[in-house]
Structure 1
Amino acid sequence: MAYDQTRHEGERFEPIITSRLVTRLMLGVAAFAALSAAAAIGGRWVGERIAMAGHSTSTELFRSTIGEDVFDLPANVIRFENQRHAGPKASLDLYFRWPDMQGYSADTRDDFNAVDGTSAVIFVSLTPQIMSKDMSGRYAPIYSHLVEGAAEPGPSGLSVHKLTHVTGYAGELLYVESGATGDPYVVRCLDDTDASSFGLTTTACQRDILIGGDTSVLYRFPATLLPEWHSVEVAVRQYLDVALQD
């Protein structure tokens, strides 16, 4: 049966490499250069601000509302300073060190600031739910029609599929749980070759799930953690389930 393009019109997917990400990287480089110059002139205080790089070691809890869901989260797992406050938010960006799911601290700073691809940090974005199904639920009606060629064996019970170039997913691979009953685990990863072309030292993977009443959770992690995909999934769900308030 031919795949019906209209079946997923209106579904919004976030590419692993986006123009917004490139813009942020360029702005980040410019900002870092400016701060470096200021540090040379202004001394220790500016240098400490650079070392912190926008992170927070505070464990103060902030109550954030995403749609109808309420989360209590410590400041040191919230990525951006302008989101470290209580109240409703259109989105909330978090990060955690793997495998202990800890936020930024003096002891974990090297993991969060590593640029050589050796650290294992999980990035999480919370937004109000838009799509009716999460990534697993979209596999049968959508993703299964967007793959080409035969699947190859992947790590820890996953099979690897190439996504077709005509779908806008060029250079991405789809990892699917083999032999699953019901909706399988599904995650998209950037191909190693494409990761290198963007100057990335590690391949990125991303997956979205639904939690609470109407919150969509997009989480991203290094492909080196694919063999631990089940543990990563459980850890993300458990952390957010605890943070979610009744």
Structure 2
Amino acid sequence: MTLATGETTGDSGAEPASRRHRLAIRVLQLCLVLLVLSLGIFLFGRWYGASLSNAGHTESVRLREIVIRNNVLTVPENAIRFKSARMDGVTLRLDLYLSWPELEGYTPGRRNDFNHVDGARNIIFLTFEEQVMSRDMSNRLEPVYRQIIETRSVAGPGNIRFHRFKRDSGYAGEVLAIAEGTGTSQPFVARCLTGAAAREALAPCERDINVGNRLSMTYRFPASLLGNWQVLDSAIKQKVARLLNAPG
């Protein structure tokens, strides 16, 4: 009886110790789970915050080869406007956005410009697509635009003259900006919005030029750059030439 009682007493003392050991393990496991969960929330918060900050932009400069018709454009991802287009392949249209005057894609240092904070207008928008018309804007001036604009004009910056479109032209609320060419150079021709539409638009002026192999490139830009149109147009053409001939 005494032996039995002693054995019973020994088992009773070991059982609480075993329970405490199991409880300690469970507490430790719970702490580890909470630690991992907290770390996950922290990392997700940083990723989500960065995602919100980038607002659909990317800092990646990985080069993508994009084919339109028989043209290959080699473009860094941060210059491609839409996320779905940041891949190699064939497409009918490609939209880019570039900072002015660098003509480079998105970087954290230019975040406010790309997000148009406080009405910032320092971004040029480019669209590449297959050429539909045989003539670009400069070559459409005489055979097309002269027929649908008013003869009277208003002086603008950089020797530009603004012409209103005739009422039945289909270009209501727009003006045609013309800077006559000198010598063998072509005239600079662009369409610009007017009034409230121009004040609200990030890039109210646009101009298209034919590039590459039957490729049309339209670039939209802030009206404030009209006074420096020679530098703007030359820089855009040089940039496009590099994109079309850049190494893969």
Question: What TM-score results when the alignment is normalised by the length of structure 2?
Answer: 0.76
Structure 1, 186-195 or 168-177: larger mean CA deviation: 186-195
1:180, distance to aligned residue in structure 2 (A):
4.0
2:198 pairs with one of 195, 201, 209: 195
- The 5 A counterparts of 1:151-162 are 151-162=153-164
* Equivalent pair of 1:92/1:126 in contact (CA under 8 Å): yes
Q: Which residue of 1 aligns with 2:98?
A: 96
Q: Which residue of 2 aligns with 1:119?
A: 121
Q: Which residue of 2 aligns with 1:60?
A: 62
Is there any run of 5+ residues in structure 2 with no aligned partner, and where? 1-43
Is there any run of 5+ residues in structure 1 with no aligned partner, and where? 1-41
- The 5 A counterparts of 1:227-246 are 227-245=227-245
1:51, distance to aligned residue in structure 2 (A):
1.6
**Amino acid paired to 1:173:** V
For residues 116-163 of structure 1, the C-alpha deviation after alignment (integer angstroms, 9 at most, x for no partner) is 333310000000111100011111111111112511211111111011
1:89, distance to aligned residue in structure 2 (A):
1.0
For residues 64-99 of structure 1, the C-alpha deviation after alignment (integer angstroms, 9 at most, x for no partner) is 111111111100100001111111111000011101
- Asked if residue 210 in structure 1 is aligned to residue 190 in structure 2, the reply is no
Distance 2:182 2:155 in 1: 15
Give 4+ residue runs of structure 1 displaced > 6 Å after superposition. Answer: none
Distance 1:202 1:107 in 2: 19
For residues 32-61 of structure 1, the C-alpha deviation after alignment (integer angstroms, 9 at most, x for no partner) is xxxxxxxxxx85543332221111100000
Distance 2:188 2:174 in 1: 16
Task: Determine helix, strand or coil for the equivalent of 2:134.
Answer: coil
**Amino acid paired to 1:94:** L
1:179, distance to aligned residue in structure 2 (A):
5.4
Identity of aligned residues (%): 39
**Amino acid paired to 2:170:** G
Q: Which residue of 2 aligns with 1:70?
A: 72
Q: Answer 1 or 2: which has greater helix percent.
A: 2
Q: Which residue of 1 aligns with 2:5?
A: none
Larger Rg over CA atoms: 2
- The 5 A counterparts of 1:128-207 are 128-178=130-180, 180-181=182-183, 183-196=186-199, 200=200, 204-207=204-207
**Amino acid paired to 2:198:** A
For residues 182-240 of structure 1, the C-alpha deviation after alignment (integer angstroms, 9 at most, x for no partner) is 641100000134434xxx16661000001111110010001011111111111111111
